[in-house]
Amino acid sequence: MPENRKMMTNLRQGSRPQVVVLAYDGLCTFEFGVAVEIFGLPRPEMGENWYRFAVASVDEGELRATGGIRILTDGDLSLLERADLIVVPGWRGLDAPVPDALCEALRQANARGCRVLSICSGVFVLAAAGLLDGRRATTHWRYIDALKQRFAAVEVVEDVLYQDEGDVLTSAGSAAGIDLCLHVIRRDYGTEAANQVARRLVIPPHRDGSQTQQLSRPVAQLRESQRMGQLFDFLHQNLAQPHSVETLARRVGMSERTFLRRFQDATGTTPARWLLNERLLRAKDYLENSRLSIDSIAEQTGFSQSATLRHHFRLHYSLSPAQYRRQFAEFKAKKTAI
């Protein structure tokens, strides 16, 4: 899935992006917390142009959240009129109607260029507003069938972590919302910014949106977990080196068949695809933060030659490495000038 269809064009020139997260009676606490942690936490290390943040109430009166929490908000749905990104953190129930006023506010915001993002069951709010008609979307695997049945105009994508349609973004279960929010930061501010936020959260910096939701064995046995963790550390430190299933299996003391099964269990993908994704991310980091030549970046990220790097970069991001570097430099210059 191309990550940068409208690369770095979502930020309004001359202003810090305004993120507004919805709060409603029956609020999903974890999903709401994800939005607050990613976009609402003060991050002075990110500079003066980081996101602004506000919470908008969908309902009047006291708002209750899962776990007995009571919520005070910054305002009502009028806050959506000034939003650059709206986050819908789940919804209070699949059978709970979505207020007409909320649907209209979301439609108007999206029509003027505001991005709208849902986490988990929040996709039903976007679908009710008609924002997903004729577009691809995903949600938690438990809700896939309900989404298909209730909104036939939506092209439901099963078993992915998130789906990016440019101005409308949807995620799977709660934790996948973290991956989608980091994806947004990566689009807005670049790979290193997303990595900084991930490091502060003490989570992996990137899980590809197409990664499967349902891992057949998500919790490995202790010994296997330690060996696989050491392997990932080794691969991150040696991305430039060639790797084969045979050599990696030997490194963790497994047969090739067992290794492939355990790797799939741990990551939801194959070693080859995992390595390609990590090499592309490393290449983007070099393009953003170094003056290395394209040839040198290709060599240091395991692509061997620049032609191979260009091929995969265009395939995944619809840009050449040189175009990506130029667009990022222009974006960074504008951000510094603000």
Residues with a catalytic annotation lie at: 120
Q: How many helices (H) and strands (E) does the chain have?
A: 13, 10
Three-class DSSP labels, 275-289: HHHHHHHHHHHHHHH
Angle between helices 174-189 and 191-201 (to 10 degrees): 140
Distance CA 295, CA 68 (A): 57
Distance CA 72, CA 41 (A): 17
How close are the terminal C-alpha atoms of the chain, in Å? Answer: 31
Supply the Cα-derived Rg of the chain in whole angstroms: 21
Q: Which long-range contacts (CB under 8 A, 24 or more apart) does 39-45 make?
A: 39/85, 39/87, 39/181, 43/197, 43/200, 45/196
- State the amino acid at position 241 in one-letter form: Q
Smallest Cα–Cα separation from 194: which of 14, 30, 322, 8?
A: 8
Output DSSP code: residue 25. Answer: T
Distance CA 70, CA 291 (A): 50
169 is written with which tokens?
Answer: 């973004």
Query: Where do the H-state alpha helices sit in the chain?
Result: 29-35, 100-111, 123-128, 144-150, 174-189, 191-201, 222-237, 245-251, 256-267, 271-289, 294-300, 306-317, 321-337
Distance CA 40, CA 255 (A): 46
251 is written with which tokens?
Answer: 């490194």
